[in-house]
């Protein structure tokens, strides 16, 4: 019995979709593509440079991207373009729910399997990561305000992207400061349990989460009301 369903969507890493997204904006050479991803996506896509050069070649083999050699002076370069199949796959991926991964939280969650100093070092690294990105981000924002950057027609999207990461940097820095103060009061990372500080923190979280839950209920009711009207 034959199936009417089309071919399954290939399993691709997030880097592949980032490249498809960049190529949906315009064609790029391999060097340009890598530099632009480094400039614009380094905060959300920390990928080694070799992957950024290899992934477009794999997308070509999958028929999602085309590659054409162009002469540039005495040299040639490869220019990549997204194909119709690549655009279709990108659109399907954009319609799927996103996932947020925060590796430093795994370091915290299993901190009782290591020492307190290891955990404090991981927290220091997370805060340093956020602080180190501020100068480049500041320069980019100033560039957008000065001349609109390389894609002025996309500034409404770029500004929203930047707002998320500025908020995220602030949240990471604030949390690291808070966590560091708390952890330094622990005798160790294991078997500390319900301290007065822990109870106070859980009570504060209960209040905040109750507000989120109330908002979720309200949003679900609004969606239900709209469905009933339709």
Q: What is the DSSP string of 101-138?
A: --HHHHHHHTGGGS-HHHHHHHHHHHHHHHHHTHHHHH
Q: What is the mean pLDDT of the chain?
A: 88
Nearest Cα neighbor of 43 from 124, 213, 144, 162 is 162
Q: Predicted confidence band at 4 (pLDDT cuts at 50, 70, 90)?
A: very low
Nearest Cα neighbor of 93 from 189, 39, 20 is 20
For the residues 174-196, what does the mean pLDDT come to?
94
Q: What is the pLDDT of residue 97?
A: 87
Predicted model pTM = 0.71
Q: Is the pLDDT of residue 5 over 60?
A: no
Determine the 3-state secondary structure of 70 from DSSP: strand
> Helices H, strands E: what count in the chain?
9, 3
Q: Is the pLDDT of residue 158 over 50?
A: yes
Helix (H) or strand (E) holding 175: helix 155-183
Q: What CA dihedral angle connects 80, 81, 87 and 90, to 10 degrees? A: 20
Cα dihedral across residues 105, 106, 111, 116: positive or negative: negative
């Amino acid at each position: 019995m034959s199936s009417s369903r089309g071919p399954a969507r290939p399993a691709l890493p997030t880097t592949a979709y980032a490249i498809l997204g960049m190529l949906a904006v315009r064609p790029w050479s391999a060097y340009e593509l890598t530099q632009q991803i480094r400039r614009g996506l380094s905060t959300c896509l920390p990928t080694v440079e070799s992957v950024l050069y290899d992934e477009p070649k794999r997308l070509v083999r999958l028929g999602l991207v085309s590659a054409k050699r162009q002469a540039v002076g005495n040299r040639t370069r490869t220019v990549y373009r997204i194909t119709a199949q690549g655009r279709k796959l990108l659109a399907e991926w954009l319609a799927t729910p996103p996932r947020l991964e925060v590796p430093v939280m795994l370091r915290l969650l299993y901190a009782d399997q290591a020492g307190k100093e290891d955990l404090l070092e991981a927290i220091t690294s997370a805060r340093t990561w956020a602080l180190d990105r501020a100068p480049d981000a500041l320069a980019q924002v100033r560039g957008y305000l000065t001349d609109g950057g390389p894609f002025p027609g996309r500034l409404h999207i770029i500004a929203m992207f930047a707002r998320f990461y500025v908020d995220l940097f602030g949240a990471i820095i604030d949390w690291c400061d808070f966590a560091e103060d708390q952890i330094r009061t622990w005798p160790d990372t294991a078997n500390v349990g319900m301290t007065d500080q822990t109870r106070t923190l859980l009570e504060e979280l209960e209040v905040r989460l109750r507000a989120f839950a109330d908002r979720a209920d309200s949003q679900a009711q609004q969606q239900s009301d709209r469905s009933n009207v339709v």
